[in-house]
């Protein structure tokens, strides 16, 4: 088994690692929705109240939709699901977002 | 932070082979507003039947070069985009590009240092933008790149990194070759682990800003290791590439 295969096998066997990415991986997708790059935008987790910039949140792209989790408490902050009529952005895990004044 | 971004047409002005499986593409973008080291662009390829595919590529070039950006792309066997870029695209071709994107995994000279950059394979790309920007900014605050590659021939930007390290401005490169080493190799020969991070971090000190980029598994080891070594989590920024490395 080559090195990469081995690594993939190890990752699949460890449920905690999964194929996690950082928020910047969906920067373009979120830019489509918000009309601007929001990876530098602070967001407050509704579960633990910690504020993290969106780019630092943990992104999971396996499964039917995209799940974004809080780096502090691992609860779901955002869900993105493509539907036939558009994109659903579930934000019940967000307490607040901070938009900088222009 | 909330910058407007829309798709632009870029013209490929130069292609450069970095290693047998890695190429850099210079994209001319006349309307380019500039970028910050660490940011990426999205590339979109659309076929005649309307099928389109997008990929994100870190910007390799420093913001001091205006009107164009470099991306560095590793050819992934069975990939949808990288084989096309490597085998089909020639200078003069036009590609749809969106960006720059990223407000978190960025470093600019104004943020200061010391700086610890940790890369696995093609994860070195956004860190190279930081290193090139640092060189252009005439900074002398210490910076170290800890760079994991499989073999000597697969070290991306090998000659340029040697030049940057020889410039005498406080930039050092520590290589580790994990699969095969050339005769006479005296450097590290294993995957990055906490002990190696401790060695790399030691002369830089506790005020270090760390950036780690590469396969998810490597980034996890680095982020966890640096926290255990005492770096505050908010001084550690990560860009995970997922399991494939791009």
pLDDT of residue B245: 39
Q: Considering only the beta carbons, identify the residue of A3, A25, A55 that sits closest to B103.
A: A55
In this structure, the answer to whether residues B78 and B116 fall within a common structural domain is no
Contacts of residue B40 in chain A, CB cutoff 8 Å? 24, 27
Contacts of A66 in chain B (CB under 8 A): none
B72 and B37, same domain (yes or no): yes
Q: Which residue has the higher pLDDT, B108 or A19?
A: B108
Q: How far apart are CA A44 and CA A41, in angstroms?
A: 10
Confidence of residue A100 (pLDDT cuts 50, 70, 90): confident
- Considering the domain architecture, whether residues B119 and B221 belong to the same structural domain is answered as yes
Contact list, A36 vs chain B (CB under 8 Å): 2-5
Q: Domain count for chain B, please give it.
A: 2
Chain B residues near residue A100 by CB distance under 8 angstroms: 1-2
The alpha carbon of residue A42 is apart from the nearest alpha carbon of chain B, in Å, by 10
* Per-residue pLDDT, B209: 98
Same domain, B91 and B22: yes
Q: Do B2 and A100 touch (CB under 8 A)?
A: yes
Q: Is the minimum CB–CB distance between B186 and chain A shorter than 8 Å?
A: no
B245 falls within a domain:
no
* B62 in Cβ contact with B133 (< 8 Å): yes
Question: Domain span at residue A32?
Answer: 18-97
| Contact A10/B at CB under 8 A | yes
Asked if B150 has any chain A CB less than 8 Å from its own CB, the reply is yes
pLDDT of residue A9: 47
pLDDT of residue A3: 52
| Cβ-defined contact of B101 to A17 (cutoff 8 Å) | no
Residue B246: inside a domain? no
Same domain? For B79 and B155 the reply is: no
Tell me the three state secondary structure of residue B71: strand
Same domain (yes/no): B72, B91: yes
A19 with B217: Cβ contact below 8 A: no
Structural domain span for residue B156: 109-240
Q: In this structure, is residue B1 part of a structural domain?
A: no
Residues of chain B falling short of pLDDT 50: 1-2, 245-246
Lowest mean pLDDT among A8-17, A37-46, A53-62, B65-74: A8-17
With a CB cutoff of 8 Å and minimum separation 6, the contacts of B90 are: B12, B15
pLDDT 10s digits, B188-220 = 999 999 999 999 999 999 999 999 999 999 999
Interface mutation vs chain A, best among B8, B210, B216, B236, most A CBs within 10 Å: B216
Instruction: For residue B22, give every residue at least 6 positions away whose Cβ sits within 8 Å of its Cβ, in sequence order, or none.
Output: B72, B73, B74, B75, B122, B154, B156
Q: B21 in a domain, yes or no?
A: yes
CATH value at residue B70: 2.40.30.10
Chain B residues within an 8 Å CB radius of A38? 2, 103
Question: CATH number of the domain that B191 lies in?
Answer: 3.40.50.80
Q: Return the pLDDT at A11.
A: 45
- The beta-carbon neighbor of B1 closest among A23, A35, A40 is A40
Name which of A81, A61, A74 is nearest A21 in CA terms: A61
**Residue found by looking up tokens 């002398």 in the block:** B140
Q: Flag if B56 and A27 touch (Cβ within 8 Å).
A: yes
For residue A61, what is the nearest residue in chain B, using CA coordinates?
B242
Query: Is B216 close to A17, i.e. CB distance below 8 A?
Result: yes
CB of B235 within 8 Å of a chain A CB? The answer is no
Compute CA distances B186 → A6, B13, B191, whole Å: 27, 39, 15
Alpha helices in chain A (DSSP H): 3-13, 27-34
Q: Which of B73, B101, B129 is the last residue of a domain?
A: B101
Give the tokens for residue B195.
């002990």
Do residues B132 and B192 share a domain?
yes
ipTM of the complex: 0.84
């Amino acid at each position: 088994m080559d090195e990469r295969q081995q690594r993939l096998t190890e990752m699949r066997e460890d449920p905690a690692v999964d194929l996690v990415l950082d928020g910047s991986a969906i920067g373009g997708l979120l830019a489509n929705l918000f009309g601007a790059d929001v990876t530098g935008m602070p967001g407050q987790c509704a579960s633990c109240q910690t504020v993290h910039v969106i780019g630092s949140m943990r992104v999971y792209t396996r499964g039917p939709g995209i799940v974004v989790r809080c780096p502090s408490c691992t609860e779901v902050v955002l869900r993105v699901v493509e539907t036939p009529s558009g994109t659903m952005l579930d934000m019940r895990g967000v307490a607040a977002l901070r938009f900088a004044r222009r | 932070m909330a910058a407007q971004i829309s798709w632009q047409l870029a013209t490929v002005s130069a292609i450069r082979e970095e290693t047998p499986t890695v190429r850099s593409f210079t994209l001319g973008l006349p309307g380019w507003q500039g970028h910050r080291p660490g940011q990426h662009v999205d590339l979109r390829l659309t076929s005649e039947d309307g099928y389109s595919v997008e990929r994100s590529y870190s910007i390799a070039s420093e913001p001091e070069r205006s009107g164009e950006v470099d991306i560095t792309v590793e050819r992934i066997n069975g990939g949808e985009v990288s084989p096309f870029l490597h085998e089909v695209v020639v200078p003069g071709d036009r590609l749809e590009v969106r960006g720059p994107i990223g407000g978190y995994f960025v470093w600019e000279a104004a943020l200061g240092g010391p700086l610890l950059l940790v890369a696995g394979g093609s994860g070195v790309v956004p860190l190279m933008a930081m290193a090139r920007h640092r060189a252009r900014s005439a900074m002398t605050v210490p910076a170290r790149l800890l760079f994991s590659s499989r073999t000597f021939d697969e070290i991306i930007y090998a000659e340029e990194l040697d030049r940057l390290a020889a410039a005498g401005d406080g930039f050092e490169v520590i290589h580790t070759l994990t699969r095969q080493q050339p005769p006479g190799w005296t450097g590290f020969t294993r995957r990055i682990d906490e002990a190696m991070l401790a060695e790399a971090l030691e002369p830089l000190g506790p005020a270090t800003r760390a950036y780690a980029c590469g396969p998810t598994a490597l980034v996890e080891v680095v982020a966890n290791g640096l926290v255990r070594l005492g770096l505050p989590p908010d001084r550690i920024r990560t860009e995970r590439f997922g399991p494939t490395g791009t």
